[in-house]
Structure 1
Amino acid sequence: MIRRLRLGAAASAFVAVLIHCRWVLLNGTSVPYRLWTVLFGAFPPFLWTFLFKQAKHIPTEIRPPIHINLLPAANRFLLSPIGVILLTFALLPLARLVYYWSEGDKVKAERGRGRWYAASILLFPFALWATSELGKLEISNALDLFAFGSYGALHFASPIIAGWWIWGFGTQGAACTFGWTLGAQNLAGLATHLVFPNASPWFYDVYGIDAAQPDYTYPGNPAGLVRVDSILGTHIYTKAFGKGPVVFGAIPSLHAATAICCSLFVIRYSKNYRGLIFAWLYCFWMFWATQYLHHHFAIDLLAGTFYSLVSFTLFERVRLRKLDRRHYSEGLTNGWERLWYARRDGENYTPYGERMLARLAGDSASGNGIALSPSISGDSTPVRGTSPPAYRAGGYAAVPSSAAADKEAKGRGSDSFDGTLDDRPGRASVEEAVEDPPRRVASIA
């Protein structure tokens, strides 16, 4: 009898966990809609994979000539002392811009992040040189397997892992935006591979530095991964690269672009310095592995980083900022908060969310952005012991400045929230909340 009771309790607990996980995943939506959001976010990477496979069917008569002299010369200059110094100076404006963007309205304990972001940008040229030098280490089975862990295994799993992490800790809709950011940079990289083909380092290992002009009949080569096949007793990479549809796609490195893209999203949605530490460790590992295995030059990694930064900046400006505003203004939850704390949308207001929303609102005095105020809907009593105060319910409503009021009179402005691609369709936007006069209260700014 006792055994039956224990089995029954275990079965009930298991069913309760399944029901809870279903509630966490759906978050008030239907199963078809949730599947649609997943497929919609994964569409760009799938499209890139399909087009990559079809590249072998492009007629050779219309393909451009293959470059075999440009990258080695450019790589030597990039890694020279003058090249590293020039690249560092070229990154100074970006470092300064990121420093001021990262400061925002952070409290003193968090202000150091902006400095570390700027320092990371300025250290990037030296890190690129360091990975190239370490890529010249003497070949060994241990280093081969270590490089394989990054270049051959984790690279293909990292987008899936990053997507789940962003769903768990990012704002609602950010995981879908991650898929589009990754797909956009990969599609741009594939287009560059096709219109500007270049030989990889393995080409010179096989055919020599004075090799004849190649054509598109040349087979691909797994380079250092052939040693991994030998260690593991397989032929996976030998066959895969030997029949590769894009043999001369050296620049940009999509391995580097993928690592940078994942890191940028992790940095954005992680607290403290954990995201930055992860980015340094993972990207340094990936950059070293690509050069140690002779798949890419350092300049290929620089180009891949550039492609990723451009794609991320575009979607950050166009989509992520709107998603973040809506997430914090409406008190929405992420996957982790629903899973472990059973929080519901509309009840997740914290001091951190208040600071983030104020930062995303911009300077209301200058007419850029919106001023913020605690909403009086529901119980807006502040929680004691929090500074700035956290509100139990209701959230934050937008109070338009004079410039924003003019926009409202003419209709919805360019910063309105359309609600598309978000995990919670049909929820009222911040601007819609403002249209209700009783919700307008004095700004806390």
Structure 2
Amino acid sequence: MAASSPFWTRDGVSRPSHRPVFNRRTSASSNGLRGALRHVFSTLHIAVSRLQTSFDPHITLSRLRAHSWSYKDLIYLLHLALWIFWVSIMREPRFPLNLGIPLLYLTAISSFFPAMPILTWVLTFFSSRFIPVEYRPPISVSLLPTLESILYGANISDILTRFTHPVLDVPAWLSYGVVHFVGPFVLAAFLWLFAAKGALKFYCNAFGYMMLLGVICQILFPCAAPWYELRNGLTPADYSMSGSPGGLARIDAIFHSNGYTVAFSNAPVANATIAALFISHFWPRLRHYAWGYSAILYWATMYLTHHYLIDVVGGACLATAMFYLMMPTQSCPPPFIPFPSSPRSAVPFLQKGGGRNHRHTASIASLIRSDERIEDGWGPAGHRGLIAPQPQSLTTGNGLGREGSEPGETLSSGNSGSNALSISPSLEGRGHTARARSPSWPDRRGAV
């Protein structure tokens, strides 16, 4: 018969149990999962109940009046200019239906104002297709591979695409084709539910402006993806050519579908970097998993022929810059404070004596010895190190300090050329003693 193991009941009594250990562990894990889900749903319910769902324009106007304007608010002029430009060139939906987009936003601005950078990015990404071809810059085919070969010594992204296998295709697809699109919204939800107040606004600003700059860079400096070089070589590209899913076409072949072949375009790799930065900042225990996923995604973008290595490095730098530029002041790390290389010497703080008489000048070695400076508070305290000196006033027999001592009980200089102090005979006669601050101090009881 197997040995029984005790388990704790609700009344706190330990009783023998004959249940298998596997069942208890499974039950504990399932209870923990149910408890975590229950906590998430309860937090979500509380957060939703606090949302501002009123579309009353007076709420928006009152918030605008209460807002303290600064030079940082000039960025909203850029948003206004972009919205006017993209709506004016938009052909789907046509005028006047396209005016409903800004009107809808102005109606719900009290609830979606922090998401303005993200909404501006979405509008820019959607409307960039309507830019006339004659105003678009030419597409560069050789710039990125040339820069990659110069900076890194080889075309790293091309090397990673030479060996393909379904075992590698599936994790690359999961990280780049699935999690990559859902992850930003899941992270935003967790920041809204569990992070400190203002974390979601911080994320919206950093993520939105990062994506907006990425789209603007693609519009102003268009470059062909690695799959174009593999398919067409260095043939000049034009905007009439259709896109390609690159290595994700193998996923369509595995699942016998055409979702990525028809609808997929290059996704920015900076998403993984900024997600890892936010997870490391708000949940440091998960930083290893976040950066591990980012490393897999970096490899997947090159393995699936969607990005060059220089794209990955540039996207990571852009994400890091936006993360620290948009970080609130109270969340910034403290400035670097250099530590002193050695203890400060006490010699500059001693009184300078005149003339050439330096017989009683204290040496540096005697000043820093603990057994010679117990009266100053620098003596040893057991085995726990040193005690910093505390400001104390030297009192006389009547309890008075330096200014309140009686005649004949004053502190006097032992030598005009000395840096040390001596006690008058009247103080020593009442039982007060004083130690010399240097071994070179002469024992002169009658010194005045």
Instruction: Report matched runs for 1:289-328 at 5 Å.
Output: 289-316=300-327, 320-322=328-330, 324=331
Find the aligned partners of 2:300 and 2:39 in 1 and give their Cα distance.
Answer: 41
TM-score, normalised on structure 2? 0.50
Aligned to 2:181: 156
Is contact 1:37-1:176 (8 Å) kept?
A: no
Deviations 1:245-278 (A, max 9, x none): xxxx7xxxx532111111111111123xx23302
SS in 2 for 1:182: helix
SS in 2 for 1:152: helix
Find the aligned partners of 1:77 and 1:19 in 2 and give their Cα distance.
Answer: 52
Counterpart of 2:290 (choices 279, 289, 301) is 279
Counterpart of 1:171 (choices 196, 211, 217) is 196
Aligned to 1:25: 47
Deviations 1:291-325 (A, max 9, x none): 00000000011111111112111101xxx234x59
Runs of 5+ unmatched residues, structure 2? 1-37, 56-107, 338-448
Deviations 1:125-157 (A, max 9, x none): xxxx7xx59834621122111111011111110
1:267 aligns with 2:280: yes
Find the aligned partners of 1:167 and 1:255 in 2 and give their Cα distance.
Answer: 23
Deviations 1:360-416 (A, max 9, x none): 6999xxxxxxxxxxxxxxxxxxxxxxxxxxxxxxxxxxxxxxxxxxxxxxxxxxxxx
Question: What code does the residue aligned with 2:311 have?
Answer: D
Count of aligned residue pairs for this structure pair: 249
**Structure 1 residues 28 and 57 mapped into 2: Cα distance closer, same or farther (>3 Å)?**
closer
Instruction: Report matched runs for 1:402-421 at 5 Å.
Output: none
Deviations 1:339-364 (A, max 9, x none): xxxxxxxxxxxxxxxxxxxx76999x
Is contact 1:229-1:238 (8 Å) kept?
A: yes
Instruction: Report matched runs for 1:352-431 at 5 Å.
Output: none
Aligned to 1:54: 127
1:30 CA displacement:
4.7
Identity of aligned pairs, percent? Answer: 29
Is contact 1:202-1:295 (8 Å) kept?
A: yes
SS in 2 for 1:218: coil
Is contact 2:52-2:111 (8 Å) kept?
A: no
Aligned to 1:139: 164
Aligned to 1:257: 270
1:76 CA displacement:
1.4
1:66 aligns with 2:148: no
Find the aligned partners of 1:309 and 1:17 in 2 and give their Cα distance.
Answer: 32
Is contact 2:224-2:237 (8 Å) kept?
A: no
Instruction: Report matched runs for 1:62-141 at 5 Å.
Output: 62-80=135-153, 132=157, 135-136=160-161, 138-141=163-166
* Structure 1 vs Structure 2 CA RMSD: 3.3
Which structure has the greater CA radius of gyration?
2
Is contact 1:181-1:315 (8 Å) kept?
A: yes
Is contact 1:185-1:307 (8 Å) kept?
A: yes
Question: What code does the residue aligned with 2:46 have?
Answer: V
Question: What code does the residue aligned with 2:143 have?
Answer: L
Is contact 1:166-1:266 (8 Å) kept?
A: no
Counterpart of 2:215 (choices 176, 185, 190) is 190
**Structure 1 residues 308 and 37 mapped into 2: Cα distance closer, same or farther (>3 Å)?**
farther
SS in 2 for 1:44: helix
Question: What code does the residue aligned with 2:197 have?
Answer: Q
Aligned to 1:224: 247
1:232 CA displacement:
1.4
Aligned to 1:442: none
Runs of 5+ unmatched residues, structure 1? 1-15, 84-128, 326-358, 364-445
TM-score, normalised on structure 1? 0.50
Is contact 1:202-1:223 (8 Å) kept?
A: yes
Find the aligned partners of 1:218 and 1:158 in 2 and give their Cα distance.
Answer: 30
**Structure 1 residues 153 and 134 mapped into 2: Cα distance closer, same or farther (>3 Å)?**
farther
Find the aligned partners of 1:23 and 1:223 in 2 and give their Cα distance.
Answer: 42
**Structure 1 residues 24 and 59 mapped into 2: Cα distance closer, same or farther (>3 Å)?**
same
Is contact 1:134-1:288 (8 Å) kept?
A: no
**Structure 1 residues 173 and 61 mapped into 2: Cα distance closer, same or farther (>3 Å)?**
same
1:228 CA displacement:
0.8
Question: What code does the residue aligned with 1:68 have?
Answer: V
**Structure 1 residues 57 and 154 mapped into 2: Cα distance closer, same or farther (>3 Å)?**
same
1:167 CA displacement:
2.6
